[in-house]
Amino acid sequence: MRVRMLRTISGLLNGQPYPVAGEEWDVPAVEVPGMVARGDAEVVEEAAIETASIAPPEQTARTKRPPARKG
């Protein structure tokens, strides 16, 4: 889960040093409630992923074929 640090903490979490205040990082979801409760971090909202929308091709009117020639 992505969090933004609200204050700088010394030490390690899962072998990684804590980032300084203001930086974002991914931490295990089980760690987040404690970090938020202590005021060490806040959860970062997931940004909506923009996708390109592709409009269907415009349909054109079909013209009638001339009748087939006999003979």
Contacts of 28 (CB under 8 A, 6+ apart): 1, 14
> Does the pLDDT at position 42 exceed 80?
yes
Looking from the CA of 69 toward its CB, the CA atoms found within 13 Å total 1
> Does the pLDDT at position 68 exceed 80?
no
Give 17-37 pLDDT, tens digit per residue. 999 999 999 999 999 999 999
What is the pTM assigned to this prediction?
Answer: 0.61
- Please, which residues bridge with residue 5 across strands? 41
> Does the pLDDT at position 49 exceed 70?
no
> Does the pLDDT at position 40 exceed 80?
yes
| 3-class DSSP state of 51 | coil
Phi, psi of 24 (to 5 degrees): -105, 150
